[in-house]
Structure 1
Amino acid sequence: MAHISVKKYQQTTVSAAKEANPYQLVAMLFQKLLGNIASAKGAIQQKDHAKKGDLLSKAITIIGVLQGSLDFEQGGDISRNLSDLYIFCSDKLVEANTNNDEALLDEIIQILLPIKAGWDSIPKEEQDKVSFESA
């Protein structure tokens, strides 16, 4: 029964991502990123090193996607500062993974939460104007 629930959740998540605008996609990425880091902290506590490694690897991948979506031409200093923060967080996630460092994961969450909060505070009328830089 749990397998069916997980599969249904995955289908719902994929469906929601397909229907999301760029603003919503970034919001979903932040939510997943923070969730993965929090779950990795739990995996450290449970001494489940394989799960921790997988979750942190996924978190680093998400940070890479967020960093890749930055528009340096329009974003200027903000984009450069975010890029630097993303690089810092990725490096620290690798360090936390290597050292099973829960406190470092908490620090990374505290860095990312204000960025997510800023993103979440974008007024609805501005959300439709958010776009990704062409790859």
Structure 2
Amino acid sequence: MHSSLALARYRKVAQPQPSEVEDPHSVIEVTLRELLRSAQALLAAEMAGTRGPDDHLNRALTAIYILQSSLDFEQGADIANDLFQLYEFTRLQILRHWRREAGGDLETAVKALEDIYGAWVAIGKTQR
């Protein structure tokens, strides 16, 4: 990816999006969306050969904490465990990016988050 394209992508995802939360499903949806936006911004920076802005690092880590702590391991053990592992994988990839460590796979984490976010939005539409 050319650095100008990466910069344009970063600028697109770096713009704050207003949100209003009405129910618990929406809280998770907003949190997932913000995590995805920050992870995409960090990925765009990585592809441009730079380290992403600290505010996106902080937002992503906060969103991961919220998502991990909201999982119900008693009622949905299998899916809760899988989601916890996905969020943990994402957290580790974000930290590797920030530390500029080799062997990170932020792109895979972003793709997985896109899938999870899409599925969560679809679930919300069927519940409304």
Cα deviation, 1:5-26, whole Å, max 9, x if unaligned, reads xxxx78x54xx13xx2111111
Equivalenced residue count is: 111
Which consecutive unaligned segments of at least 5 residues does structure 1 have?
A: 1-8, 128-135
**What is the RMSD of the two structures over their aligned residues, measured on CA atoms?**
2.4
Higher radius of gyration, 1 or 2? 1
1:59, 1:120 → 2: CA distance? Answer: 19
Cα deviation, 1:90-127, whole Å, max 9, x if unaligned, reads 111101111177x8332210111111111111154536
3-state DSSP of counterpart to 2:78: helix
2:39, 2:90 → 1: CA distance? Answer: 11
2:33 to 31, 37, 40: 31
Amino acid at match of 1:119: W
Q: Which residue of 2 aligns with 1:58?
A: 59
1:92, 1:40 → 2: CA distance? Answer: 10
Amino acid at match of 1:94: L
1:21 to 6, 14, 23: 23
**Mean Cα displacement is larger for which, 117-126 or 104-113?**
117-126
Amino acid at match of 1:93: I
Q: Which residue of 2 aligns with 1:106?
A: 107
**Mean Cα displacement is larger for which, 61-70 or 111-120?**
111-120
**Mean Cα displacement is larger for which, 36-45 or 112-121?**
36-45
Which consecutive unaligned segments of at least 5 residues does structure 2 have?
A: 1-15
What displacement does 1:40 show? Answer: 2.4
Q: Which residue of 2 aligns with 1:79?
A: 80
Matches of residues 107-126 of structure 1 in structure 2 within 5 Å?
A: 107-124=108-125, 126=127
Matches of residues 37-48 of structure 1 in structure 2 within 5 Å?
A: 37-44=39-46, 45=48, 47=50
Cα contact 2:89–2:109 (8 A) shared by 1: no
